Structure 1
Amino acid sequence: MAATRTLSKYWMLTNEFTQNPYPVLEHVREERPVCEIALPDGGRAWVVTRYDDAKAALADPRFSRDIHVHYQLMSRRSGRTLTPPPEEANHLANLEPPRHTPLRKAISFAFTPRRAEALRPRILEIADELLDRMAGRTRTDLIAGYADPLPVIVIAELMGVPADAWPDFLRWSQALRTFSPTDTSGVLDRNIQDLSAYMSSLIAAKEREPGEDLLSSLIHADAERRLTPTEILSTGFALMTGGNDTTASLVGGVIAALLTHPEERRRLLAEPGRWGAAMDELIRYVGPISNALQRVTTEPVEIGGVTIPADEVVIISVMSTNRDRGQFPDHPDELDLDRAKPAHLSFGFGIHYCSGAHLAKIITEIGARRLFERFPGVRLAVHPSELRYQQNVVVRPLEALPVTW
Structure 2
Amino acid sequence: MLTRRFVGTGREDRTVCAHAPERPAPLEWAPAPFPFERLAALRAEGPVHRVRVPGSGDAWLVVTRDAVRAALSDPRLRNDIRHSAGWETDGGHAVGRNMLQSDPPHHTRLRRLVAGHFTQGRVAALRPRVEAVARDLLDRMPEAGPADLVGAYALPLPVTVICDLLGVPAADRADFHRWSDELVTPTGAEAAAASAAALAGYLTDLIARKARTPDGTLLADLAAPGTPDAEAALSPEELLGMAFLLLVAGHETTVNLISATVLSLLTHPDQLALLRADPELAGAAVEESLRLHSPVHAGAFRFAAEPLELAGTAVAAGDAVLVSLAAASRDPLAFPDPDRFDLTRRPQGHLGFGHGVHHCLGAPLARVEAAVALRLLLERHPGLALDAAPRSLTWRAGTLLRGLTTLPVRLGGHTPAAGASRSRS
Q: Same fold (TM over 0.5)?
A: yes
For 1:87, the equivalent position in structure 2 comes to 95
Give how far 1:361 is off. Answer: 0.8
- Pairing 1:254-265 to 2, within 5 Å after superposition: 254-265=261-272
Matched residue type, 2:95: E
Q: Which has the higher helix share?
A: 1
Are 2:71 and 1:40 equivalent residues in the alignment? Answer: no
Shift of 1:356: 0.5
Report the residue type matching 2:287 in the other structure: D
Counterpart of 1:5?
Answer: none
Q: 1:199, CA displacement in angstroms?
A: 1.7
Q: SS of the residue aligned with 2:251?
A: helix
CA–CA separation in structure 2 for the residues paired with 1:27 and 1:12:
13
Residue 118 of structure 2, aligned match among 88, 111, 121: 111
How many pairs align? 384
Match of residue 213, structure 1, among 207, 211, 217 = 217
Secondary structure of 2:395's counterpart equals coil
Of 161, 169, 191, 1:162 maps to 169
Q: Mean Cα displacement is larger for which, 227-236 or 98-107?
A: 227-236
Asked if 1:253 is matched to 2:273, the reply is: no
Alignment of 1:89-238 (within 5 A): 90-135=97-142, 138-179=145-186, 184-185=189-190, 187-220=191-224, 223=229, 225-238=232-245
CA distance in 1, matches of 2:375, 2:27: 39
How far apart in 2 are the matches of 1:194 and 1:361?
Answer: 30
TM-superposed CA distance for 1:74, in Å, is 6.5
Determine which of 12, 15, 33 is the counterpart of 2:29: 12
Residues 9-66 of structure 1 deviation map (CA, whole Å, 9 limit, x = unaligned) = 655316xxx2322222111111132111123359321110011111010011221111
Normalised to the residue count of structure 1, the TM-score between the two structures is: 0.88
Residue in 2 aligned with 1:51? Answer: 65
| Aligned equivalent of 2:15 | none
What CA distance in whole angstroms lies between the structure 1 residues aligned with 2:182 and 2:153? Answer: 17
Q: Please, which of 295, 317, 322 is the counterpart of residue 324 of structure 2? A: 317
3-state DSSP of counterpart to 1:397: strand
The alpha-carbon distance between structure 1 residues 64 and 384, as it changes in their structure 2 partners (threshold 3 A), is same
Quick check: 1:347 aligned with 2:353?
yes
Q: Which has the higher strand share?
A: 2
Q: How many Å apart are 1:212 and its aligned residue? A: 2.3
Cα–Cα, structure 1 residues 364 and 35, in superposed 2: closer, same or farther, change >3 Å? same
Are the structure 2 counterparts of residues 381 and 350 from structure 1 closer, same or farther at C-alpha, using a change threshold of 3 Å?
same
Do residues 390 (structure 1) and 396 (structure 2) align?
Answer: yes
Asked if 1:365 corresponds to 2:371, the answer is yes
1:331-383 Cα deviation digits (max 9, x unpaired): 22212222244211111111111111110111111122222211111111111
Q: Counterpart amino acid of 1:199?
A: L
Q: Partners of 1:41 and 1:167 in 2: how far apart?
A: 28
Q: 2-side partners of 1:184 and 1:382: how far apart? A: 33
Structure 2 spans left out of the alignment, 5+ residues: 1-24, 412-425
**Which one-letter code corresponds to 1:215 in the other structure?**
L
Residue 3 of structure 1: aligned partner: none
Report whether the alignment pairs 1:303 with 2:317: no
Q: Distance in 2 between matches of 1:42 and 1:339?
A: 36
User: Which stretches of structure 1, 4 residues or longer, exceed 4 Å deviation after superposition?
Assistant: 8-11, 72-75
Where does residue 333 of structure 1 map in the other structure? 339
Residues 42 and 173 (structure 1 numbering): CA distance in 2 closer, same or farther, change over 3 Å? closer
Is the CA contact 1:33–1:48 (under 8 Å) kept in the aligned structure 2? Answer: yes
1:50/1:102 CA distance change after superposition, 3 Å: same
- C-alpha distance in 2 between matches for 1:247 and 1:222: 35
The amino acid of 1:343's aligned partner reads G
Q: Distance in 1 between matches of 2:347 and 2:194?
A: 44
Distance 2:137 2:82 in 1: 40
Contact 1:139 1:404 in 2 (8 A): yes
Shift of 1:137: 6.0
Identify unmatched segments of 5+ residues in structure 1: 1-7, 76-80
CA–CA distance in 1 between the matches of 2:391 and 2:309?
A: 39
